[in-house]
């Protein structure tokens, strides 16, 4: 169940509310004049992808046509060389 907080209290304690949402999983309803205005809740976990999933998705792409592949190779050849690393790498 969401904790109700006034807009003034939310503004004064915004950082604390964010921490409570992130680390404790709490949820808040912000009110103005006794009327619910918004709900503050976790956006959820960031969407991650594994290398295996990436490879699978790339494998599902349609093949590149020869003209496009040729254009990419030509553009790559026109790129200048990177300067040598001052750290010898």
Report yes or no on 55 lying in a domain: no
pLDDT for 81 equals 84
Report yes or no on 28 lying in a domain: yes
Domain that holds residue 28: 3-40
Report yes or no on 82 lying in a domain: no
Report yes or no on 86 lying in a domain: no
- Integer Cα distance of 11 and 25 in angstroms: 19
Count of the separate structural domains present in the chain: 1
Residue 2 has pLDDT above 80, yes or no: yes
pLDDT for 35 equals 96
Report yes or no on 67 lying in a domain: no
Report yes or no on 52 lying in a domain: no
Question: Would you say the pTM of this structure is higher than 0.75?
Answer: no
Burial class (CB in 10 A: 0-12, 13-18, 19+), 31: middle
């Amino acid at each position: 169940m969401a904790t109700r907080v006034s807009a003034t209290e939310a503004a004064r304690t915004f950082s604390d509310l964010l921490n409570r949402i992130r680390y404790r999983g709490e949820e808040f309803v912000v009110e103005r004049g006794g009327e619910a205005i918004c709900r503050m809740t976790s956006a959820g976990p960031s969407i991650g992808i594994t290398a295996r999933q990436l490879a699978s998705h790339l494998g599902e792409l349609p093949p590149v046509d020869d003209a496009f592949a040729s254009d990419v190779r030509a553009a790559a050849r026109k790129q200048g060389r990177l300067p040598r690393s001052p750290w010898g790498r």
